[in-house]
Structure 1
Amino acid sequence: MEAFVRSHIREMSAYEPVLPFEVRARQLGISPEHMLKLDANENPYGPLPEVLGALSRLPYVHIYPDPESGFLREALAEYTGVPAEHLMVGAGADELIDLIARLFLEPGDAVLTCPPTFGMYAFVAHLSAARVIPISRRQDFSLQVEEIEATVERERPKVLFLASPNNPDGGLISSATLERLLKLPVVVVLDEAYIEFAPPSSSHITETLRWENLIVLRTFSKWAGLAGLRVGYGAFPKRLMKYLWKIKQPYNVSVAAQEAARIALEHRDELQRRRDRIVAAREAFYRELRAIPYLEPYPSQANFILCRVVRGSAATLHHTLMARGVLVRYFNSPGLQDFIRISIGRPEEMEKLLNTLRQLPFPP
């Protein structure tokens, strides 16, 4: 049977997600309530009580969901300033990334990525048998804009994937840089999964009304604490919407996910207060990390902080923390040798981690 599997799928690498919390706890022999999960950029406060209440009262779980997520798109239009006819809701932003690849890419087409960045961009491109052309970021994680321009002229890619704030470093793309890239003959997909943790003027979602080649993606996973329900959305040029509706799965976003996201938007003032607490914790944690002699933290506009391990090895630090019930993300890939990324939790969780970092006999 394997002979019938498409050849490029046989050869491609699998995407490696973070292990589920309860699985890692069982492996370590530590009860979940004694662990710190700071490895996947989830919201430490979880869903709002109003969201949990609405989910407990759902009346139509036995009925298929609205295939167009109409009520949610109306609420998103009011929140983003982008008309509903430009918006599509997906089972997480990941589904929309996959739809974009299905929409544009044929085997052999070129796609540009700018690693280190979110691995899903290259993953969906490989699924479509596209050619992934990586244009590595500089040592400070800024984009090599001139190299992108030269590659677009030489390779004629269809899609350029970018993230702002970028994962894993948390850096933003400036308006001037984005406008320069939008002048290129390529579809620019801007992933704003972490944008609510950045300064208010950082989003470019309304620019989709001005630029025919700009797509902006967002998610409820980080800001609204709904990672487990899988709900995200995208703002697209209006001309593309008829094609997206053709290829989208009809019942892709569950009744629960649509309702949870809609109720979260109704109570976004409370979400903003939680966001402010996370940002304050991030800034305080960054200041304290700078005093840890074996870590070099990078400034971030997201809900995580990337650190280079400058003494010892990141692998050793990762395993040492894990043995103590602290989960952080470890990287050892091109451009990310000896790095860890730490999600921002509640202030008491960050203080517990700081105390652990200060007490470690590290490097060994």
Structure 2
Amino acid sequence: MGNGSNELAFTVGLAVIEEGTPVVLPRPMFSLYEMIVRLHGGRIHAVAPRPDLHFDVEGLLEAMRRHRPALVVLTTPNNPTGRAMAPEDVEAVVAAAPGLVLIDEAYVEFADGVGARPLLDRYPHVLLLRTFSKAFGLAGLRLGYLVGHPDVVRELYKARIPFMVDRLAETVALTLLRHLDLVQQRVAEIRAGVQWLYRELAALPDVAPVPSQANFVIFRTPLEPDVLLARLAKDGILIRNMSGYPELRGYVRVNAGRAEENRAFMVALKKALAGDETP
């Protein structure tokens, strides 16, 4: 257990990466991982995505053959795209990896299937990273967990500082785990909201959403993101500009909320796209 999955990811970097260590990272993905590699002096070998924004599995396999990385990181479903890797693609990467494979499943509860958990029984070099921040709604309390082979986890413990999980986060998490029906109900509502948002966005002319297995949808419109965000903000709607990722220039991201919030977003979006900026 850790103080959020970020702390655990940092611990993996501290244990595995030193000056010149090769690390293979697909793009685009959660920017924390690139920061961790650079912080510890590792060498990043980034693999660009396919045109549909799925990870390029063949490109990852080739990068591993060429660079023999000590660490490969996969995020599935992926932040920032919402795309999920097919189980056979994840296993292909794992089977070919010469070092550790860290699989970040922060959004797995929103996705179809069970994630990469079955791989742990067959591949001792797999590390599975999950969080209580998304489906469990505990982002402010900071609690994550990492699962791996005992021999590997024992080595990671040597690199981490103690006392990273506080009593309040522990108590709240244990309480939620005793009420999984509530969590599952909320996840079902969010998944339905994501599907509704995708259908509504896809029905708009010149709006291009990307199918998502997370709790958000990214999409492009004819407007520049900064213009769109400013227009939506006037109606109290806040979404995120994803153009900081080179592969996502022009994209914005909306998180699924309650049904009434999703409807309010769509009303404001249609108004913004029509150029109606009246209060």
TM-score interval, smaller chain? over 0.9
- Residue 226, structure 1, aligned to residue 138, structure 2: yes
The code of the aligned residue for 2:85 comes to: I
Q: CA deviation at 1:293?
A: 2.2
Matched residue type, 1:187: L
Give the aligned partner of residue 136 of structure 1.
Answer: 48
Amino acid at match of 1:223: A
Structure 1 CA distance for aligned equivalents of residues 216 and 51 of structure 2 = 19
Equivalent residue number for residue 198 of structure 1: 111
Report the TM-score when normalising by structure 2: 0.94
Q: Alpha-carbon deviation of 1:363?
A: 6.1
Aligned length: 274
Q: Which has the higher contact order (CA 8 A, sep 6+)?
A: 1
Identify if the C-alpha distance between structure 1 residues 256 and 155 changes in structure 2 by more than 3 Å, giving closer, same or farther: same
The residue that corresponds to 1:22 in the other structure is: none
Q: 1:147 aligns with which of 50, 59, 62?
A: 59
Match of 2:99 among 169, 186, 211: 186
Tell me if 1:330 matches 2:246.
no
How big is the shift at 1:325? 2.3
Read off the aligned partner of 1:253 and give its amino acid letter.
Answer: V
Q: Distance in 1 between matches of 2:192 and 2:174?
A: 26
Amino acid aligned to 2:232: L
Question: Match for residue 269 of structure 2?
Answer: 357
1:282 lines up with 2:169 in the alignment:
no
Measure, in 1, the Cα distance between the counterparts of 2:58 and 2:117.
Answer: 24
Identity %: 33
Task: Read off the aligned partner of 1:167 and give its amino acid letter.
Answer: N
Provide closer, same or farther for how the CA distance between residues 202 and 173 of structure 1 changes in structure 2, counting only shifts above 3 A. farther
TM-score by length of structure 1 reads 0.73
The Cα shift of 1:130 comes to 0.8
3-state SS of 2:5 partner = helix
Contact 1:190 1:216 in 2 (8 A): yes
| Residue 191 to residue 95, structure 1, CA distance change in 2 (3 Å) | same
What is aligned with 1:28?
A: none
Report the secondary structure of 2:23's partner residue: strand
Matches within 5 A, 1:280-319: 280-309=192-221, 311-319=222-230
1:99 and 2:7 aligned = no
Task: Give 1:207 deviation, angstroms.
Answer: 1.8
Q: Secondary structure at the match of 2:73?
A: strand
**Structure with greater Cα Rg:** 1
Whether the 8 Å contact between 1:110 and 1:156 is mirrored in structure 2 is yes
Deviation of the 1:319 alpha carbon: 2.2
Measure the CA separation in 1 of the matches of 2:154 and 2:22: 24
Aligned residue in 2 for 1:157: 69
Q: Deviations over 1:54-81 (max 9, x none)?
A: xxxxxxxxxxxxxxxxxxxxxxxxxxxx
Cα RMSD of the aligned pairs, angstroms, is 1.4
The list of structure 1 runs, each at least 4 consecutive aligned residues, that deviate by more than 6 angstroms after superposition, is none
* AA matched with 1:204: A
Q: Tell whether the 8 Å contact from 1:152 to 1:186 is kept in structure 2 after alignment.
A: no
Contact kept in structure 2, 1:292 and 1:357, CA below 8 Å? no
Question: Residue deviations 1:95-115, cap 9 Å, x none?
Answer: 111011011111111111111
Partner of 1:38: none
Unaligned runs of 5+ residues in structure 1 are 1-88
Q: Which residue among 219, 223, 239 is the counterpart of 2:151?
A: 239
> Residue 328 of structure 1 aligns to which amino acid in structure 2?
I
Question: How far apart are 1:292 and its partner, in Å?
Answer: 2.3
The answer on whether the counterparts of 1:213 and 1:237 sit within 8 Å (CA) in structure 2 is yes
